[in-house]
Amino acid sequence: MAGTLAHLPFSSSIDPAFWAALSDLKMTKLKLDSAPQPLCALYGPAAAAAHRSEGDGGGAADAAAVAWMNLAGEALDVGSEVPRRSVRAGGSVTVVNTMEEFKAVDKKEFLSKAGAQMCAHVDSGAAEQDPSLLVHCEALVFSDLKNYKHVYWFAFPALCLPTPPALEGAPAELASRLPTPGQRQLLHLGVQQLQGASGSRGTPPFFIVELSGEGVSVRPLCDVHAVAAGSNEWWLAFVDPSPLPSNPGWPLRNALFLVQRRVKLTSVTVLCYRDVLDAKEAPQESRSILLRVTLPPGDSVPSSGAPAVVGWEANAKGKMGARMVDLAPFMDPQRRAVESADLNLKLMRWRFLPDLDIDRLARTKVLLVGAGTLGCNVARSLMAWGFRDMVFVDNGKVSFSNPTRQWLFDFTDCVDPARPSEGKPKAQAAADAIMRIVPNMTARGEELTIPMPGHPVMEASLAGVQRDTSRLEQLVEDTDVVFLLTDTRESRWLPTVLSAAKNKPCINVALGFDTFVIMRHGLCPPAAAGAAGGGDGDRAGAPNLGCYFCNDVVAPMDSTRNRTLDQQCTATRPGLSAMASAMAVELAVTLLHHPLGALAPPDQPGPPMGQDAEAAGLGKLPHQIRGFVTNFSSIIVTGEAFQHCTACSPPVVQGYKRGGFDFLLRAFNEPDFLESTSGLKQMLAAAEDMADDWEEDGCDEWDDDA
């Protein structure tokens, strides 16, 4: 009995981890690039597939007519080790950017290119040295990354002979030709040895079995010419994923093309090897079968040129067409939220900011001193930029007037269940809110009072002030960037001193009714900072940028005394905080991406963020931005550090380093301490003396003229 040899096509089995890996590859590496990417799929003998199905509870019958080609999460890592019993199928995946592009791909040409490459491996002899080149898995994919949907079509290229191979007679069981367990044991051991010789590349898909009397030897495919020219009986063997009793699996098509084209055979015995290889003894009942296959005569087959290629996978309806998988319903909502939170940033890197360091922003620890209107707005913008580690410092409670302006709070925060007469602590309420917005946030609130100059410390509160000071010192030490966002000027003094002493980048935001100022405090370069630590206070070589207090000619004082209601609240135009906060965060992101960081000179842009001429950088890094809403304008200002500044001047910073809390306590309690320490008092006295001298000299001259 003879008939056309029918092959069972592959069916793709795709692990969700593969789609996750592909999405990450597209988002972080490929971006708009649709060039084919290497792929490594796996399949195994039919016995292994049936065993897996039974172990999964599905029963062998569920997989009875399926030859699986598996794509795991490691499929895109072509260098990964191939598990035992598995056969490696190389190939590529092409991820296009739009659904229209997916539809426009010439599917015939797409498959023909893969087939032509495979045929070239046959003609060059490379496929005999590396039989895995005869098994390919090609994929065309459009990934809707926003909605976790993937449209895909897999192909398993098969090279066609001009006349289909014919099956001579019925398939035979392996035991009919190898009747003794010893012979079958030799076969299995030979396959295992061949697998061991392949190392991490798994089981070779094709090999040769040579019979000599009672002996059985397994040889690599590259020996096919020598074996075919010999006198011993031999079989063309392949790892067969098909479980059907008379139909071999899809890979055989390419092996038959090779032996016909290269060895010029007109018939061959094929061993469809379907057994699991981990038994110490040959299984008593082998699943493998033998086929006798007739091939078209050699003169009817061209010896060169690419043949016709088939192999597109049918969809679930059995028709030639693409499939679609929607992973959203099966994903953990928190994971979706985390991935979606950074989607805008990843898309920004595709074309505009290729060198945007999202990971660095996520690792940057931010200290927000103040959790009010500015603190809430700054935190929201930081989250949008991918910052994921924040600490809020505030001693206030959420009041009923806050939620309309302070967008991290709502009505439920205005009543603390533990103390119904007051709202929840602002710092912790803000931290809780941002962790509800982005699940992978690390945030906490620190409820502490910032000691201030002009606010004397009473003996009864000394321990608490010392505790809060120590805690604030540790918070500044542990952070990477400090934002000063409090209501009063004097509350910014201690964080300013601590930032200068610990050389931490500090960004200050302050509001008027219709004006705002944003500024980054200057830092000492590492060498100067080390010298300053030795006590000489040398700022030579520093950018010499001033801090928030460098324009003052008086020490900070109590600004809360005798204030009216409009002065007790920060009365500003409602949109002002959002505008200033957003620009402050943009300043911080630009600072973190500049090669010199906080030491960058004012108004000097960093290098372009990518090699592409279209790739934009993040722009200039100003010292101060002053905005005016009345005429919708802003100006860039650069201010030098004041040598007698009451917050960042070397005498103050070094006085704090040497004296610690005792130094700070004097600054809190003694009205003229900071002016004396910084030299401001002496400078003012000298200025008055000069003015007096000028007035006296001027008066004498005037009198003389009179």
Alpha-carbon distance 679 to 340, whole Å? Answer: 54
In the structure encoding, which two tokens stand for residue 438, read together? 């982005």
Contacts 24+ apart (CB under 8 A), 397-406: 397/422, 397/423, 397/424, 397/425, 397/426, 398/423, 398/424, 398/425, 398/426, 398/429, 399/423, 401/569, 402/372, 402/426, 404/574, 405/373, 405/574, 405/577, 406/371, 406/372, 406/373, 406/375, 406/376
Of 156, 185, 208, 203, which is closest to residue 48 (Cα–Cα)?
203
* Packing angle of the helix pair 462-478, 493-501 (nearest 10 deg): 50
Nearest Cα to Cα of residue 231 among 217, 211, 258: 211
Through-space distance between the first and last CA atoms of the chain, rounded to whole angstroms = 140
Report CA-CA distances (Å) from 471 to 363, 485, 659: 22, 18, 17
Q: Which amino acid is at 145?
A: L
Q: Where are the beta strands (DSSP E) in 468-584?
A: 481-484, 506-511, 515-520
Q: How many helices (H) and strands (E) does the chain have?
A: 22, 24
Angle, helices 493-501 vs 650-659, to 10°: value is 80
The answer to whether residues 130 and 258 touch, using CB atoms and an 8 Å cutoff, is: no
The one-character DSSP state at 550 is T
Measure the CA–CA gap between 52 and 63, rounded to whole angstroms.
Answer: 9
Q: What is the DSSP letter of 295?
A: -
Write out the two tokens for 651: 């005498």
* Strands 289-294 and 166-168, sheet pairing: antiparallel
Write 317-325 long-range contacts (CB < 8 A, 24+): 321/153, 322/102, 322/140, 322/151, 322/152, 322/153, 323/151, 323/152, 323/153, 324/149, 324/150, 324/151, 324/152, 325/14, 325/19, 325/149, 325/150, 325/152
Element holding 634 (H helix, E strand): strand 633-637
Give catalytic status of residue 569 as yes or no.
Answer: yes
CA dihedral 408, 412, 417, 420 (to 10 degrees): 110
Residue of 40, 272, 547, 569 with catalytic role:
569
- Which candidate, 706, 700, 649, places its Cα nearest to that of 676? 649
- Give the three-class secondary structure for 332: coil
CB 371 within 8 A of CB 396: yes
Q: How many CB atoms lie within 10 A of CB 5?
A: 21
Closest CA to 516 of 378, 365, 380, 409: 378
Instruction: Give catalytic residue positions.
Output: 569
